[in-house]
Amino acid sequence: HIDEKPSIAEDHGARLKRMADKGLLGPCTIAEAMNLPDLFAGHCIEADLLPDIFLVPNIEAGNILVKTTDHLMGGVRQCVTVGAGLITLTPSRSDGYEARMGNLALGLVLAEACKRG
């Protein structure tokens, strides 16, 4: 960076790491990879190695991750966008019926969890 300051995404990542280290996010591990090849360096990509949640710095990065998961890895995923106190389901335009129904089911689970606090 020109001004030697971390980007907003790097700052948010560091904050999330500190929160995880303090146990504020529950039992979790923060992988410090900057890209998918770094995350799986030296490994075949196996289902048990994939994180349950990917946090991305912006919707563009999320879109790239979704397309990689769908088209290169043959994965199944559900996407939500969280911010400003809102949870928004974000299916891909190319999602078929099953993926959209799965996304709606996830939305129902999240809505119920929000009601319960």
> Average pLDDT in the 109-113 region?
86
pLDDT band at 22 (very low <50, low <70, confident <90, very high): very high
Is residue 52 assigned to a domain? no
User: In this structure, how many other beta carbons lie within 10 angstroms of the beta carbon of residue 66?
Assistant: 21
**SS3 state at 26:** coil
Is residue 66 assigned to a domain? no
Is residue 59 assigned to a domain? no
Is residue 38 assigned to a domain? no
Is residue 3 assigned to a domain? no
Predicted confidence (pLDDT) per residue in 26-44, tens digit: 888 777 666 666 666 666 6
Predicted confidence (pLDDT) per residue in 45-59, tens digit: 666 666 777 777 777
Provide the number of structural domains found in the chain: 1
* pLDDT above 80 for 101: yes
Is residue 49 assigned to a domain? no
> Average pLDDT in the 57-78 region?
76
Parallel, antiparallel, or unpaired for β 86-89 and 80-83? antiparallel
Is residue 10 assigned to a domain? no
Host domain of residue 104: 78-117
The whole-number pLDDT of residue 10 equals: 78
Is residue 85 assigned to a domain? yes
**CA 67 to chain CA mean position, Å:** 13
